[in-house]
Each structure stands twice: as structure tokens, then as C-alpha cells.
Structure 1
Amino acid sequence: MDRQPGLSVRLKLTLSYAGFLMVAGTLLLAVVWVFLLRYVPEVINTPPSRDWPAIPPPAVPDRNALVEAFLPKVLLVLGFLLVFGLVGGWILAGSMLAPLNRIAHATRLAANGSLSHRIVLEGRSDEFRELADAFDTMLARLEAHDAEQRRFAANASHELRTPLAITQTLLDVARNDPSRDTSDLVDRLHFVNARAIDLTEALLLLSRANQRSFSRARVDLSLIAEEAAETLLPLAEKRDITIEVSGEVASTDGSHALLLQMTTNLVHNAIVHNLPEQGTVWVSTGVHAHHAILVVENTGEMLSRQLVSTLAEPFQRGTERVRNDHAGVGLGLAIVQSIAQAHDGTVTLTPRTDGGLCVTVRLPAALG
């Protein structure tokens, strides 16, 4: 936005300080003047002395003499107050606005793409320091978000490039060998294309969750859990996995579609990354400390805390980058975390002592 040039804040504060000092000094001198005039008559009549004219009467100033003596001093004092107010106001305003100059400098650096700079304003807490601390916190979050987006973009590009490269290779083979049976080629192209479509849809869902572009309504996590378990029951039976759903009503405000996707991702992840046979998935809901809680646990191999801490990152699939019909595209838990954060919630991943993973989602409970 183009604006006309104006006075700086420092100059405005300086003029304000000087003006206030002048007004206060003028009022003070006016009070003194009124007080003096109250006790000094306009004309003072002095009775003649007995020794007059040998001894003249004492000189007693009247009001006119007081005006002649007082007015120059008033002008001198007002001039001193004006100079003192301007100089002192300029120095005081500069000292007061110094934190704003540092904040403005950090803002310009951030606007130019430097998010690593921090203000770190010293001293005790006041309005300027609260503003600086809030700005530092914002910069830290922006830097972390920027790093996450860069890493995500790099991983997404790599993941999308793989199916495209495979497709290109298969097409080149078919073109160079026209006599080759195309049925196998079509099946492989169909599989690779399906994986690319799944990845694209997951990326779009993740973007939608990050943008929070959804309407909110009352949602019961217990019903969501039952719906997700029922949807994935055929997959669980195929892999000899038992799904147990329990818990109480846990209502929250959010998107039914996104929360269902979040729960489905968790249950799907628990089924896929489970024991080869006779595994179990536990899904429970509840309300605790004004939070609607969803817990999904599964049996499986032993997991270290270091590995678990990376599972919510995009395109992380645990110890192996498994690629089968149900391995997913590596965005399941990343989508879960983004959906939870979009609903002002948190996701906690902890390894189970007996093997497997426990995922706890905490969302704000619905009021009323």
C-alpha cells in the first residue's frame, strides 16, 4: 500500500512531550501569577514619613512593577522548557522506541526470507518485550513449518517421481518390444497408476487438513471408531487380525469426513503393521480432562522410541519401506497428525512394552 510520507513516531512523541511540558509550565506560571496578583494591589499609597524629605519612604512595588519584573522571567522559563522538552523528549522517545526498531529490523529480515533471526529482547517483562517474545515464537514456528514444508516437498517429489519413472520404463519396454505380451504390462501399469493416484489423493487430503478449510459439526468419536473398524474388517479378517472396539461417547467439534479419515488411517496402520497372524487391534474412546480421546493400539514387532518419534513424518513406514497392496503411501500418520492439529488436538505415539504401537489422539471435547 502506497502512503504519503509523514512524521516519524519519534518526532511525534518528541513534540507531544515538549507540548505537554509547555502546557504544564504555562499552567504552573499562570497559577503563580494569579496567586501574586491576589495579594498585590494595583497602586500602593505610602503615607509620608515625619522625616520627609530627609528620609524618603520605602519603595513598595505595585502591580505594574510586578508585571514588568515577572513577564521577562516567564518568557525565559517557557523558552527553557521548550528547549528542554524537545531535547529530552527526543532522547526519551528514542530510548522508548529502541525495542520497536529491533522488532522492525527482525520483521524486514523475515520478509526477505531470513527466519533464523531472533530479537531476544533483554530486560523485565513489559509490552515491548511481550511483543518481541511473541514475534520470536512466531518466527520459530514459521522456521519449523518452512523446514517441514521443504522436507515434505522433497519427499513428495521423490515419491511421485518413482511411479512416473516406472511407467516410463514400462512404456519404453513395450515400444521396443512390440511382440511382447501386453497383459502383464497393463497389470503393472494399473498397479503403478493406482499407487500414484493414492499418493496424490493423500497429498490433497493432507493439504486440506493443513489449510483448515472445512466446516465443523458435533462428531462422536465412538461412532467414528465403529465405522472405521467396520470398513476395515474385511482387510483385518484377510490378515487374521482381530479388531476390538470399546469405550464411551466422546464428542468433539470438527469435520466428520476428516475425523473418519484420521481414524481409518490409524486402524489401517494398526492392521498393516501387525503380527503375521493372530494379531489384535484395540480401538477405544473416552473423555478425560475436557478432552475427547481416541486410542488405537496394535500388537506387532518391538519398536524403539527413536523410531516411533519419526513415524509421523511424511513417507516414513517404520523399519522397512514395504510396498504391497496395503502398505499405503507413507502419509497415514502424517495425515493423522495434520487432521488432529487442524482440530486443535494432539497425537502421541508410544511403543507398547509387548510390541506394537499405541497412538493416542486428544481433541477438545464438545461443550454442552
Structure 2
Amino acid sequence: MSVRVKLTLSYAGFLMLAGALLMAAVWVFLLAYVPEQAMLNNAEDKDKLGGVFPVRSALLDVFAPRAAAVLAFLLVFGLVGGWILAGRMLAPLTRITDATRMATSGSLSHRIQLPGRGDEFRELADAFDTMLERLEAHVAEQQRFAANASHELRTPLATTQALLDVARSDPHRDIDELVERLRIVNTRAIDLTEALLVLSRADKQAFTREPVDLSLLMEEAAETLLPLAEKRGVTIDTSGDIATASGSPALLLQMTTNLVHNAIVHNLPELGSVWVRTGVRSGSAVLTVENSGEKLSPLLVSTLTEPFQRGTERIHNDHAGVGLGLAIVQRIIHVHDGSLTLTPRADGGLRIAVQLPAPAPHSAK
């Protein structure tokens, strides 16, 4: 049976039970105040009934059919009224079910938008609308990411194919030059694949949280990337206090390295600078990375965390990255319940501030 039929039968059954109890109460009341027999004063009635009239028996003959008629009316009224009331009560659930079916078929843009007061059905519909909104945004982001990733992966593969075609058509081509170019293209494809794996595996359930000092990660990342900075004529200035965050040391090192790497690559052609600072603010660990460079508009800065965005132009060299640096940073910060703020510097370049929650007092001991 459907829920509506069950509710209808429940309403009708309850109404019948209430009517039966009411009739029983009336009958008990009548029995308490009505004698079983009554003496007749009329001579003619005395001769017919023997002088005694059975009051309760006569009352039962009159009360029983009328009580049955009332109960029958209550049954019909309960079924009809229960069916109507159940339909009105379940109408919001029907709208939610229809929206669920539409979402199952792939339409995530539909919203229930249930009117009325804030009852349980309204709360359920609002929660479902919120879920649909987030799911739609997530699917759109995944589709955009898949399209961009396919485009980026196609580039090195097409380049490799072109190099091989040229080499096959020109047997006198320098093999060493061909091998070196293929190595560069293959390295870029490997870096892109590894970045995609890091981005997909960054999940809140995939690591154990422990206290991590961001100042140590800052020093390690700066030391690792110092040869690249010297090659590009960029100076790295690191300073700050101990800033302990709660999270994965490997993921937070990846985040710090990506930030410093981006600051070095997207800098002035020569005599560029990178400033890395750590500290504590409002009980949270803060990492700040600033770099000199071209002036950036706020609109452009707001898109830099999107996958495959590389500032003002695409850069083609051994250290250009794959356009996933800040996307990976944002994902790592998100799974650590932190915040990321990007601000263009007035003198050119970018300022990136990362704020991460500090470990709980019991875990910091």
C-alpha cells in the first residue's frame, strides 16, 4: 500500500476508535442513570406488559442502530477526509520526489523551492536544494577540469607525434636534438599527470592530522628551489616565527613548494624578489608568499586558482609548471579547513596568504 492509503486508513481507524469510545462512554452513562425496569401506572399497559417495563432493553433497541449509523458515517467521513488530508500532507513530499527523479536523470538545475512555513518538509526541501546546488557546481567544475586536463594532455602528445613525424620524414635530422626535445615534452606530460594525481588524491579522509611547523616547511621549500631562483635571477627572502598548523606534512610541504615555485616562475625577467613569511594570527598559522612581477588586475587574480591558469600569459620553458600549482594549493588548503587569499601588489606581482587552523591543545603536547 502507498503511504497515502496507509495514512488514510490510520485517520479513519483512529476516528472510528474515537467514535466507538464515545458511544461506549454514552452507553455507560445511560446505564448508570437509567433503571433496568420501570413500574407502569397505566392499567392498560400493566395488562399488556405485566406491570413492568424493560427500560434498558428498549433503550438498547433504540441506541444500537443509531450508534451503528454514526460509526458508519464516521468510517466514510474518516476515509474521505483522511484521503484528502493525506494528499495535502504528502504534497511537499511529491515535489521532493519529482525533483529527485529529475536529478537522477541528469537535470541538476531544477530546484524545489518549497513555499510555506519552516516545517520539517520545508527544511528537507531546502537541504535538498542546497545539495543540488553544490552538486551542480561540483559537476560543472569536474567537467571543466576534465576538458582542461584533456586539452593539456593532448598538447604534449601532439607535440611528440609531430616530432616523430618530422624525424621520420627527415632521416638526416639530428637525433640528439630530437631526443632532447622528446625528453622535455615527456617530462612535461609526466609532471602534468603527477599533478593531476595529487589534485585527485587530496581528500580529508586520506591523511592523518599532526602538528606541522610551517616555518620549517618554508625553509625546506626555499632551499629546494634555490637553484631555480638563482638561474632566473630571483632572490628569496624567508623570515617569520614558528607557525604550527594541523595537517599532513607531505601535503603542506607540497603546498608551500608550489607557492614558492609559482612566485619564482611568475616574476620579473631579472632582479626579481620573493618574500616568504610565517606567523600566528588569531590562533591560526599563517603563511604569506609575495613576489614581484607585472601588475595584475583583481579580475585576473580571482581566476588564478582555476586549473591551468598561468597569470598573464602561458609560459613555455622547463620550469613553467602545468598550470595546476595554485589549484593544488587551494585543494590542499580546503581539505585542511584553511583559507587562501590572493591580492595583487600595488608595485606589481602577487601576495598570497594561507591561514590554517592550529592543532588542538592536547595534540600539540
Q: TM-score, normalised by structure 2?
A: 0.90
Alpha-carbon distance between aligned partners in 1 of 2:45 and 2:29, rounded to the nearest angstrom: 36
| Cα deviation, residue 348, structure 1 | 2.1
Alpha-carbon distance between aligned partners in 2 of 1:9 and 1:145, rounded to the nearest angstrom: 34
Indicate if the aligned counterparts of 1:233 and 1:243 stay in contact, CA closer than 8 A: no
Alpha-carbon distance between aligned partners in 2 of 1:293 and 1:99, rounded to the nearest angstrom: 47
Q: Deviations over 1:309-365 (max 9, x none)?
A: 111111110111011121111000111111222223332222122322122223333
Which of residues 211, 215, 218 is equivalent to 2:207?
215
Partner of 1:4: none
| Cα deviation, residue 244, structure 1 | 1.6
Structure 1 runs of 4+ off > 6 angstroms?
Answer: 53-56
Q: For residue 318 of structure 1, give the secondary structure of its aligned residue in structure 2.
A: coil
Indicate if the aligned counterparts of 1:215 and 1:255 stay in contact, CA closer than 8 A: yes
Alpha-carbon distance between aligned partners in 2 of 1:235 and 1:30, rounded to the nearest angstrom: 95
Q: Deviations over 1:64-107 (max 9, x none)?
A: 12211211121111111111111111111111111111111111
| Cα deviation, residue 246, structure 1 | 1.1
Indicate if the aligned counterparts of 1:242 and 1:278 stay in contact, CA closer than 8 A: no
Indicate if the aligned counterparts of 2:12 and 2:78 stay in contact, CA closer than 8 A: yes
Which of residues 217, 221, 237 is equivalent to 1:224?
217
Which of residues 17, 33, 39 is equivalent to 2:27?
33
| Cα deviation, residue 205, structure 1 | 0.8
Percent identity reads 68
Partner of 1:255: 248
Partner of 2:334: 341
Is it true that 1:166 corresponds to 2:159 in the alignment? yes
Change (3 A) 1:24 1:364: farther
Alpha-carbon distance between aligned partners in 2 of 1:204 and 1:317, rounded to the nearest angstrom: 19
Which of residues 94, 116, 119 is equivalent to 2:87?
94
Name the stretch that deviates more: 271-280 or 10-19: 271-280
Give, as a single letter, the amino acid of the residue that structure 2 aligns with 1:116. Answer: S
Q: For residue 113 of structure 1, give the secondary structure of its aligned residue in structure 2.
A: coil
Alpha-carbon distance between aligned partners in 2 of 1:107 and 1:53, rounded to the nearest angstrom: 80
| Cα deviation, residue 206, structure 1 | 0.8
| Cα deviation, residue 291, structure 1 | 4.0
Partner of 1:283: 276
Partner of 2:101: 108
Q: Is there any run of 5+ residues in structure 2 with no aligned partner, and where?
A: none
Is it true that 1:268 corresponds to 2:261 in the alignment? yes
Alpha-carbon distance between aligned partners in 2 of 1:121 and 1:83, rounded to the nearest angstrom: 32
Indicate if the aligned counterparts of 1:279 and 1:299 stay in contact, CA closer than 8 A: yes
Change (3 A) 1:281 1:240: closer
Is it true that 1:44 corresponds to 2:38 in the alignment? yes
Where do residues 304-323 of structure 1 align in structure 2 (5 Å cutoff)? 304-323=297-316
Change (3 A) 1:291 1:136: farther
Alpha-carbon distance between aligned partners in 1 of 2:330 and 2:240, rounded to the nearest angstrom: 22
Partner of 1:15: 9
Is it true that 1:367 corresponds to 2:360 in the alignment? yes
Indicate if the aligned counterparts of 2:153 and 2:192 stay in contact, CA closer than 8 A: yes
The RMSD of aligned alpha carbons is 2.4
Q: For residue 207 of structure 2, give the secondary structure of its aligned residue in structure 1.
A: coil
Change (3 A) 1:176 1:62: same
Change (3 A) 1:357 1:101: same
Partner of 1:352: 345
Partner of 1:188: 181
Which of residues 179, 188, 197 is equivalent to 1:204?
197
Q: Deviations over 1:38-79 (max 9, x none)?
A: 111212235x47xx67999xx987221221121112111111
Change (3 A) 1:53 1:180: closer
Indicate if the aligned counterparts of 1:283 and 1:296 stay in contact, CA closer than 8 A: yes
Q: Deviations over 1:98-152 (max 9, x none)?
A: 1111111111111111111111111121111111111111111111111111111
Indicate if the aligned counterparts of 2:268 and 2:292 stay in contact, CA closer than 8 A: yes
Alpha-carbon distance between aligned partners in 1 of 2:218 and 2:151, rounded to the nearest angstrom: 33
Partner of 1:69: 62
Give, as a single letter, the amino acid of the residue that structure 1 aligns with 2:237. Answer: I
Give, as a single letter, the amino acid of the residue that structure 2 aligns with 1:281. Answer: V
Alpha-carbon distance between aligned partners in 2 of 1:257 and 1:171, rounded to the nearest angstrom: 38
Q: Is there any run of 5+ residues in structure 1 with no aligned partner, and where?
A: 1-6
Name the stretch that deviates more: 145-154 or 358-367: 358-367
Where do residues 95-174 of structure 1 align in structure 2 (5 Å cutoff)? 95-174=88-167
Partner of 1:3: none
Indicate if the aligned counterparts of 2:37 and 2:53 stay in contact, CA closer than 8 A: no
Q: For residue 44 of structure 1, give the secondary structure of its aligned residue in structure 2.
A: strand
Is it true that 1:241 corresponds to 2:235 in the alignment? yes
Change (3 A) 1:289 1:36: farther
Indicate if the aligned counterparts of 2:343 and 2:351 stay in contact, CA closer than 8 A: yes
